[in-house]
Structures are given as C-alpha cells and as structure tokens.
Amino acid sequence: MFDFERKRVGIALLAALGAWGCGDGDRAVGTVEFTERSREAANGGDAAHLEWLRANYDKSEHMVPMRDGTELYSIVYTPRFATDPVPVMLFRTPYSIAPYEPGEYRNPLGPSAEFDRAGYVFVFQDVRGKFRSQGDFEVIRPLATKPKGPTTVDESTDNYDAIEWALANVEGHNDKVGQWGISYPGWQTVMGMVDAHPALAASSPQASPSDMFIGDDWHHNGAFRVMYAFSWLARNARRRDAPTDVRPGGFDYGTNSGYAFFLEAGSAANIDALYFHGDVPAWNDFIEHDTYDEYWQRQNALPHLRKIDHPILNVAGWFDTEDFYGPMSIYRAIEAGNPGTENTLAAGPWLHGGWSRMLGDHLGCIEFADRTSVTFQRDVQLPFFEHHLRGAGDWTAPEAFVFETGTNVWRTHDRWPPANIEQAPLYLAGNGALSFASAGPPGGSDSYTSDPDDPVPFSAEERTTLGHLWKVEDQRFASARPDVLVYQSPPLREDLTIAGPILADIFVSTTGTDSDWIVKVIDVYPDDAPDSPFCDVPMGGYQMHLAGEIMRGRFRNSLEHPEAMVPGEVTPIHIDLRDRYHTFKAGHRIMVHVQSSWFPAYDRNTQQFVDTYRATPDQYITAEQTVYRGADHPSRVTFGVVR
C-alpha cells in the first residue's frame, strides 16, 4: 500500500573552493498560527462532523477508581451505529478532556475523523491531579520502584486500571484496546506501554519526551530551556486547591519581547520571587537539581521500555521544537530491547504535533508539496490501528515511514537510518569555507567574543514564547552577527541526500571556565530561488535552519559530574544534532554556524563555573571563544550520506 515515489539521488562530496558571503540580515520571518478550529479542520472535524458525532455517539461521564482509591474523571463516547463489537481507544491527558457539558462533544474524537466514522469506543481521562480528577499532579511523575505494593500508583498503574475499568464497565467492545497521545499525552501513552494491560493491542506514542535533561522540553545536554519551561509550567503546573473545569490562561509578560523579559529577569532562580511566588513547585525543583542526578534519572522513560510485546507506532516531526529527541530515542530503545516487536517509526516535516493539525503543505516559508498530515493519517495511522484492533485493512508494517525534505517525497525503509549510507565528514576550513575533501593544513582557528549581556537570539521574531517556526527559520539575522562563526560550501553540483544523525565534533577554547557551544546546519537557497507563496521573506539566499543543538561545556564529559573548562585549553566538544532526512539540492550551499548563546530558547551561560541557575549579575562575564580547525584539530560536521 506504500506506493510512493522512489528515485535514485546522485551525490557529490565537493571540496570547498574559497570564501562565500553570508547574505544580509533580513529580520522578517514567515508566521503561522494554529488554533483549535484549524486543528478540527485538519482532521475533518468541522461543524458538519460535530453534528454527525452528536447524532451517532453517546456520551457518558464517570469517576473511575484507581487501586489506591483515588478517582479519575473520565468521559466515554460509544458509537450507536456499531453492529459488531468495536475496539476501545484510550486517551489520558493533563490538558483537560473538555468539553465537560453533557451535550457537548470533542471534535474529532479520535486521532482523526476517520476513526470516528469507523466506530470506536473512546475513553478520555483527566490524569491524577488535573481538572476534574482527584489526587495530586506531579510533572513527569516517575515510575514507582519495584516491587510495587497493591496500592502503589504511578502513571503505568493508572493506565492499567483505566483499561481494566473500561473492559468491565463499557458495553460493546471487542476486548482490544489501543492508545495514543501527542506530547505529554504521548508520554502517558509510553507509561501505559510499561507493564501493559494484556488487552492493550496497539500503542502510538507521538512526540513523547523520554529524558528531560538530555534532549526534551526542559533541557538539552544540561542547558536549561528557560523560555519554554517558563511558559509551560506557568500554564500547566500551578498548585490547585480542588478539582476544577477551568483551563488556566497564558502568562501576561507585559511585553512583546521575550528576549527583553528574560534578560531583565536575570538567572532562573529569580523567576520564582518575581512571578511564581511558590505557586509552581516544579520550577524550584528544576533549580535544585542542576545536574543529571536521581531526580532526572528516575524520570527517564528509556530504561523501562522492555518486555513490550504489542505493536508500536512512533511518530516524530523533523522540525519539532519541543520533543524530537524523545520519539527517536523511544523508537531506538524499543528496537534494541524488544526484538521481534513490531516497531514502526513515522517521521515527517512537522512542527510539534503537526501531523494532527497542519492544514497545508508547508511550514513557515518552506513548501513540502504534499499535505503530509493527511498522508500520514490516511496511509499510516488509521491502517495501523484498524489492523491491530479489528483485523481490518491490508497493513504491512514498514520499519520506517519517513519524509525526505528537499526532494519532498515519502519513503519507506526496512531500518532507520537506512542501510545505504556512508559517513562523510564536512570540515570547517579557512576563510569561512567548508570542505568534504580534507581537514586542511594544521594551525587554523577562528575567534569571536561572547557577551552574556548581548546574547545571540534564537529567532528574528519578537515573541514571548518559543513558537514553532524557528527550526526552519531564515538564519540571515544570525549570520550577520559578529558572535556567530559562519562556514559555507560552494554551490553543490549535484543533489546531496543525508539520513540519520548529524554529528558535530569541534575543538574549542574559551577564556572563561564554562561556555555553551551551539552548532547549526543550514540549507542556503540559490540567489535566484523563487519566492514562497506562504511568506513575504525573499527566498533568494534564504538560509533554512535544518538542524541545531547545544552542549553546555561543563557537561561535555558527564551530565552527572560537571567539570570546569580550563581557560585557553583546546577542548573537544561532541554534539549530536539529531536525525534528519534531507536533500541539499544542486545549486544550494551547506552552511554551518558556531555560536555560544541561543537566547532565550536556552538560558545564558555565565561563562564561569558557577551555579548558573542562581547566578548574580556580576557573575556573567564576556569570554573570547576560539574554534580550531585543520589537520591537528579537525572540527567537522559528519553526515550520513545516502549512496
């Protein structure tokens, strides 16, 4: 059923020929807003579908007891038109299962409207401590240690008890249960896969975090994602006195500039005194646990992903700004720990959760020539559940169903990364060049000044929240800064396709005792590239952010045991920029940025080996940063090149 375009893509490993300009600093960016209405439209959930749901599904509300006696509020939608027993689809969330009113319906009920038409029993549940459910909410509640007592609870046991209740109390089911969720509900899905209920026959964790210190919402390689953590916790993790229907509103920043807001706030510890006043316990927990200690290790889902014997559909977005490490690492952990288990990876050119709500065929200025969310919903998600929950359809599980950006085609592979790749280092060279040919003569270096009072912004947009577009945003605003090193290839003579992890190895020194190191890979469009119909940014010379990642210098050798950097000492820094599947088209250039701040997506490094979370203004110091290159210190980015 996966009859997608397949074609051979030629490659050329080209030596750089000299220095090329960086372009100007155009600060305009394409923007896009996603509302609840657009989500419904993307899933077919328009007003007509809502009326159809009311006419064809019954809704009931229940307080479901867990094994410790705590009751969790649940809503069940049952199809009136079913003539045979139907599967159960479970969705557990901290974000509210509203609407709560008896005559009001979610729209759509399932992952897409096609599920509603096919006929399922849908069970929705407010997780422990949220909205109408009893109990206390804990952000990323860790699994309880084993052996568990008869009344010991965690998200795995709550998931089990929810399924047990549904099988015993909901009529018309066929004894098979599926579950899905995006982001935090995706993590709830992962927890349900651990010590799973025997009736659980299919799970689809989508954009789930796996490790909040290594690569998901709160930190990347120990660097604190202050902007996102602030907005999420302010909205979702405040104390509550009693169950409630009320969804909290967003935080009023009093400004349009998150850059100015967080710069003025100073270090992270100031946030509680300034804005939270003890009302957001998790914020203070983060500050207390500033290394990869037991607090963070217990939240790590990956060690628990063993003895999983039901089919899994993992979903990731190449341009997810929140949880990309999570789904990719979950896929790999299941693959490694559960041989023989059906374990499919689906990855497309999506923002966070975009496979459920992206209406069109583009993200920001970048066009993909396919309504990728519709393709995924129609050809992967629905057939996966239909096959495993009721034996319908002709589903043949691919190992990897992945979208190749640049050429804009879907492909299937029997493994990920594909087998036919060759590791190809792209070296930083003199005069701002890049070279596949050699590391160049020894002794080269480039330097810049990193000033925490003037950090490199993560986006050209003036905004207070992280948003969804900076992972494909035009980087000309950053290339124009003196504190960003820019390296660029000549125009490619042939298409160059890369797949799998992008790995950066750079040799650096600093005049401080700590520093952040950020490496970005950028696809530079030709000067005569046609403009996009989706934004007003000139596409000639557009610098598309393709991949980027940060390493906090103190964690370069160990996340558990940080070490100061030695001033002036050449130090190797390894950074996994994570997976991509992309073709740099002929005529495009490859660009690499190296910088030491990415604010306020990440908090500022003091550039001293001090407590960054509690740093005082005088502890933020300017540092001279040097990146070394050449045969003695071959700084490079390594691609998996498709042969």
Do the bridges between strand 57-65 and strand 409-413 make them parallel or antiparallel, or are there none, so unpaired? unpaired
Cα–Cα distance measured from residue 504 to residue 595, given in angstroms and rounded to the nearest whole number? 13
Residues 158, 66: contact at Cβ < 8 Å?
A: yes
pLDDT at 45: 53
Based on the number of CB atoms within 10 Å of its own CB, is 406 exposed (0-12), middle (13-18) or buried (19 or more)? Answer: buried
C-alpha to C-alpha distance for 39 and 95, rounded to whole angstroms:
15
The secondary structure of the chain in percent helix, strand, coil, rounded to multiples of 5, reads: 20, 25, 50
The string of pLDDT tens digits covering residues 143-171 is 999 999 999 999 999 999 999 999 999 99
Say if CB 358 and CB 350 are below 8 A apart.
yes
CATH of region 36-210+301-357+369-404, choose from 3.40.50.1820, 3.90.1150.10, 1.10.3720.10, 2.120.10.90: 3.40.50.1820
Check: CB of residue 237 under 8 Å from CB of residue 279: no
Q: Give the β-pairing of 223-224 and 219-220.
A: antiparallel
- Alpha helices by DSSP H, listed for 35-183, are 36-42, 47-56, 113-118, 155-169
Q: Which backbone phi and psi does 67 adopt, to 5 degrees?
A: -65, -15
- Dihedral of CA 479/482/487/491: which sign? positive
Q: Which helix (H) or strand (E) holds 286?
A: helix 281-288
Distance CA 281, CA 279 (A): 6
Q: How does pLDDT run across 469-496, given as a tens digit for each residue?
A: 999 999 999 999 999 999 999 999 999 9
Q: List the Cα angle 77/79/85 in 5-degree steps.
A: 110
Q: Average model confidence (pLDDT) for the chain?
A: 92
Exposed/middle/buried for 175, CB within 10 Å: 0-12, 13-18, 19+?
exposed
Which H or E run includes 337? helix 325-337
Tokens of 344: 């499919």
534's CB contacts (< 8 A; 6+ apart) are 30, 360, 362, 364, 365, 367
Task: Return the percentage of the chain with pLDDT > 90, whole number.
Answer: 90
Domain 421-642 sits in CATH at 2.60.120.260
| Cα-only R_g, the chain | 25
The two structure tokens encoding residue 550: 């940060």
- CB atoms < 10 A from the CB of 243, how many? 15
Q: Which among 228, 87, 211, 67 is positioned nearest to 153, based on CA atoms?
A: 67
Global pTM value: 0.92
Question: Please, are residues 593 and 479 in contact by the beta-carbon 8 Å criterion?
Answer: yes
Low-confidence spans in the chain with pLDDT less than 70: 1-45
Question: What are the sequence ranges of the domains in the chain?
Answer: 36-210+301-357+369-404, 227-296, 421-642
- Dist CA 87 CA 89 (whole Å): 7
Q: Nearest-5° angle of CA 205, CA 598, CA 330? A: 15
Region of residue 623 (left: phi > 0; alpha: psi -120 to 50; beta: else): beta
